[in-house]
Amino acid sequence: MFEAAVNGYLVALSLILAIGAQNAFVLRQGLRKEHVGAVVAACALSDAVLIGAGVAGFGVISGAVPWFADAMRWLGVAFLLVYGALRFRAAAQGGEALMPSEAGSAPLGKVLATCLVLTWANPHVYLDTVVLIGSISAQHAPHQLIFGIAAACGSLSFFTALGFGARMLAPIFARPAAWVWLEVGVGVTMWAIAAGLAFGS
Protein backbone atom coordinates (compact mmCIF):
# COMPACT_ATOMS: atom_id res chain seq x y z
CA MET A 1 0.00 0.00 0.00
CA PHE A 2 2.86 2.39 0.86
CA GLU A 3 4.53 1.61 -2.45
CA ALA A 4 1.31 2.39 -4.31
CA ALA A 5 1.03 5.75 -2.53
CA VAL A 6 4.64 6.74 -3.25
CA ASN A 7 4.38 5.70 -6.88
CA GLY A 8 1.10 7.53 -7.33
CA TYR A 9 2.55 10.74 -5.93
CA LEU A 10 5.71 10.56 -8.05
CA VAL A 11 3.89 9.58 -11.25
CA ALA A 12 1.57 12.59 -10.94
CA LEU A 13 4.49 14.95 -10.34
CA SER A 14 6.43 13.61 -13.31
CA LEU A 15 3.47 14.02 -15.66
CA ILE A 16 2.54 17.60 -14.71
CA LEU A 17 6.03 18.97 -14.08
CA ALA A 18 6.60 20.07 -17.67
CA ILE A 19 5.56 23.62 -18.48
CA GLY A 20 2.28 23.70 -20.34
CA ALA A 21 -0.70 25.98 -20.86
CA GLN A 22 -2.18 25.27 -17.44
CA ASN A 23 1.12 25.59 -15.57
CA ALA A 24 2.00 28.82 -17.37
CA PHE A 25 -1.37 30.27 -16.37
CA VAL A 26 -0.93 29.27 -12.72
CA LEU A 27 2.55 30.81 -12.71
CA ARG A 28 1.23 34.04 -14.20
CA GLN A 29 -1.57 34.29 -11.64
CA GLY A 30 0.90 33.58 -8.85
CA LEU A 31 3.14 36.40 -10.03
CA ARG A 32 0.16 38.73 -10.21
CA LYS A 33 -1.00 37.56 -6.75
CA GLU A 34 -4.47 37.37 -8.24
CA HIS A 35 -7.00 34.72 -7.15
CA VAL A 36 -4.14 32.28 -6.58
CA GLY A 37 -5.95 30.08 -4.08
CA ALA A 38 -8.98 29.71 -6.34
CA VAL A 39 -6.81 28.91 -9.37
CA VAL A 40 -4.76 26.33 -7.44
CA ALA A 41 -7.96 24.75 -6.11
CA ALA A 42 -9.55 24.62 -9.59
CA CYS A 43 -6.49 22.94 -11.10
CA ALA A 44 -6.07 20.46 -8.26
CA LEU A 45 -9.76 19.55 -8.14
CA SER A 46 -9.89 19.12 -11.91
CA ASP A 47 -6.90 16.78 -11.78
CA ALA A 48 -8.46 14.88 -8.89
CA VAL A 49 -11.67 14.33 -10.87
CA LEU A 50 -9.76 13.18 -13.96
CA ILE A 51 -7.44 10.95 -11.95
CA GLY A 52 -10.47 9.45 -10.25
CA ALA A 53 -12.03 8.79 -13.65
CA GLY A 54 -8.87 7.09 -14.86
CA VAL A 55 -8.47 4.95 -11.76
CA ALA A 56 -12.14 3.98 -11.94
CA GLY A 57 -11.61 2.73 -15.48
CA PHE A 58 -13.33 5.44 -17.50
CA GLY A 59 -10.38 5.67 -19.87
CA VAL A 60 -12.42 3.51 -22.25
CA ILE A 61 -14.37 6.63 -23.31
CA SER A 62 -11.85 7.41 -26.04
CA GLY A 63 -12.22 3.89 -27.36
CA ALA A 64 -16.02 3.93 -27.22
CA VAL A 65 -16.29 7.35 -28.88
CA PRO A 66 -13.89 7.37 -31.88
CA TRP A 67 -14.18 11.11 -32.57
CA PHE A 68 -13.63 12.20 -28.97
CA ALA A 69 -9.82 12.43 -29.18
CA ASP A 70 -9.84 14.43 -32.42
CA ALA A 71 -12.55 16.78 -31.17
CA MET A 72 -10.60 17.55 -27.99
CA ARG A 73 -7.42 17.96 -30.01
CA TRP A 74 -8.74 20.64 -32.35
CA LEU A 75 -10.69 22.41 -29.61
CA GLY A 76 -7.42 22.63 -27.71
CA VAL A 77 -5.55 23.95 -30.76
CA ALA A 78 -8.13 26.70 -31.34
CA PHE A 79 -8.18 27.85 -27.74
CA LEU A 80 -4.38 27.84 -27.38
CA LEU A 81 -3.99 29.94 -30.53
CA VAL A 82 -6.47 32.52 -29.28
CA TYR A 83 -5.04 32.60 -25.75
CA GLY A 84 -1.49 32.92 -27.11
CA ALA A 85 -2.55 35.84 -29.29
CA LEU A 86 -4.06 37.58 -26.26
CA ARG A 87 -0.77 37.21 -24.39
CA PHE A 88 1.16 38.74 -27.31
CA ARG A 89 -1.28 41.61 -27.39
CA ALA A 90 -0.81 42.13 -23.64
CA ALA A 91 2.97 42.22 -24.14
CA ALA A 92 2.59 44.78 -26.93
CA GLN A 93 0.68 47.04 -24.56
CA GLY A 94 3.84 47.47 -22.50
CA GLY A 95 4.94 46.81 -18.95
CA GLU A 96 2.69 49.33 -17.25
CA ALA A 97 -0.42 47.47 -18.37
CA LEU A 98 0.97 44.31 -16.82
CA MET A 99 2.14 45.63 -13.45
CA PRO A 100 0.09 43.90 -10.72
CA SER A 101 -0.05 47.06 -8.62
CA GLU A 102 -1.37 49.17 -11.49
CA ALA A 103 -3.45 46.79 -13.55
CA GLY A 104 -6.98 46.16 -12.39
CA SER A 105 -7.68 42.76 -10.94
CA ALA A 106 -9.54 40.48 -13.31
CA PRO A 107 -12.89 39.19 -12.02
CA LEU A 108 -12.73 35.84 -10.25
CA GLY A 109 -15.25 34.31 -12.64
CA LYS A 110 -13.22 35.27 -15.70
CA VAL A 111 -9.99 33.95 -14.17
CA LEU A 112 -11.59 30.63 -13.20
CA ALA A 113 -13.25 30.26 -16.61
CA THR A 114 -9.89 30.70 -18.35
CA CYS A 115 -8.26 28.28 -15.93
CA LEU A 116 -10.91 25.62 -16.46
CA VAL A 117 -10.82 25.92 -20.24
CA LEU A 118 -7.01 25.66 -20.23
CA THR A 119 -7.41 22.52 -18.13
CA TRP A 120 -10.36 20.73 -19.69
CA ALA A 121 -9.78 21.73 -23.34
CA ASN A 122 -6.24 20.35 -23.25
CA PRO A 123 -6.18 16.84 -24.77
CA HIS A 124 -2.90 16.07 -23.02
CA VAL A 125 -4.56 16.28 -19.61
CA TYR A 126 -6.77 13.31 -20.52
CA LEU A 127 -3.81 11.30 -21.75
CA ASP A 128 -1.82 12.07 -18.59
CA THR A 129 -4.56 11.65 -15.99
CA VAL A 130 -7.29 9.41 -17.37
CA VAL A 131 -5.26 7.12 -19.62
CA LEU A 132 -1.74 6.97 -18.18
CA ILE A 133 -2.47 7.29 -14.47
CA GLY A 134 -5.52 5.08 -14.91
CA SER A 135 -3.52 2.33 -16.58
CA ILE A 136 -0.60 2.57 -14.13
CA SER A 137 -2.97 2.37 -11.17
CA ALA A 138 -4.12 -1.04 -12.40
CA GLN A 139 -0.61 -2.33 -11.75
CA HIS A 140 -1.06 -1.61 -8.04
CA ALA A 141 -4.18 -3.70 -7.48
CA PRO A 142 -5.83 -3.94 -5.01
CA HIS A 143 -4.52 -0.51 -3.92
CA GLN A 144 -5.70 1.54 -6.90
CA LEU A 145 -7.63 3.90 -4.64
CA ILE A 146 -4.53 4.69 -2.57
CA PHE A 147 -2.57 5.21 -5.79
CA GLY A 148 -5.20 7.63 -7.08
CA ILE A 149 -5.43 9.60 -3.84
CA ALA A 150 -1.64 9.95 -3.72
CA ALA A 151 -1.58 11.07 -7.36
CA ALA A 152 -4.20 13.74 -6.60
CA CYS A 153 -2.09 14.88 -3.62
CA GLY A 154 0.93 15.13 -5.92
CA SER A 155 -1.04 17.39 -8.23
CA LEU A 156 -2.23 19.55 -5.32
CA SER A 157 1.26 19.99 -3.91
CA PHE A 158 2.67 20.93 -7.33
CA PHE A 159 0.05 23.57 -8.09
CA THR A 160 0.31 24.98 -4.57
CA ALA A 161 4.09 25.33 -4.88
CA LEU A 162 3.81 26.82 -8.37
CA GLY A 163 1.07 29.30 -7.54
CA PHE A 164 2.24 30.53 -4.15
CA GLY A 165 5.96 29.98 -4.76
CA ALA A 166 5.81 32.34 -7.72
CA ARG A 167 5.59 35.19 -5.21
CA MET A 168 9.28 34.74 -4.43
CA LEU A 169 9.93 35.98 -7.96
CA ALA A 170 7.92 39.14 -7.33
CA PRO A 171 11.00 41.43 -6.99
CA ILE A 172 12.14 40.41 -10.48
CA PHE A 173 8.72 41.06 -11.93
CA ALA A 174 8.50 44.47 -10.29
CA ARG A 175 10.14 45.63 -13.52
CA PRO A 176 7.70 46.26 -16.40
CA ALA A 177 10.08 44.69 -18.92
CA ALA A 178 10.03 41.39 -17.02
CA TRP A 179 6.24 41.20 -17.35
CA VAL A 180 6.50 41.88 -21.06
CA TRP A 181 8.91 38.98 -21.47
CA LEU A 182 6.73 36.73 -19.33
CA GLU A 183 3.74 37.46 -21.56
CA VAL A 184 5.82 36.78 -24.67
CA GLY A 185 7.08 33.53 -23.14
CA VAL A 186 3.56 32.41 -22.25
CA GLY A 187 2.35 33.30 -25.74
CA VAL A 188 5.17 31.31 -27.36
CA THR A 189 4.40 28.38 -25.05
CA MET A 190 0.71 28.42 -26.01
CA TRP A 191 1.48 28.51 -29.74
CA ALA A 192 4.16 25.82 -29.44
CA ILE A 193 1.72 23.50 -27.68
CA ALA A 194 -0.93 24.28 -30.31
CA ALA A 195 1.55 23.42 -33.08
CA GLY A 196 2.45 20.19 -31.34
CA LEU A 197 -1.22 19.24 -31.10
CA ALA A 198 -1.96 20.20 -34.70
CA PHE A 199 1.02 18.60 -36.39
CA GLY A 200 1.99 15.92 -33.91
CA SER A 201 1.17 12.30 -34.54
User: Which tens digits make up the pLDDT trace of 41-100?
Assistant: 999 999 999 999 888 865 556 567 777 667 766 877 887 788 789 889 888 887 544 444
Q: How far apart are CA 124 and CA 192, in angstroms?
A: 14
**This prediction's pTM:** 0.70
Mean pLDDT of the chain: 80
Residue type, 49: V
**Cβ-proximal residues to 126 (8 Å cutoff; 6+ apart), any chain:** 50, 62, 72
Q: For residue range 92-137, what is the model confidence (pLDDT) as tens digits?
A: 887 544 444 445 678 899 999 999 998 898 877 887 787 777 777 7
pLDDT, position 201: 52
pLDDT, position 31: 85
pLDDT, position 63: 64
pLDDT score of 168 more than 60: yes
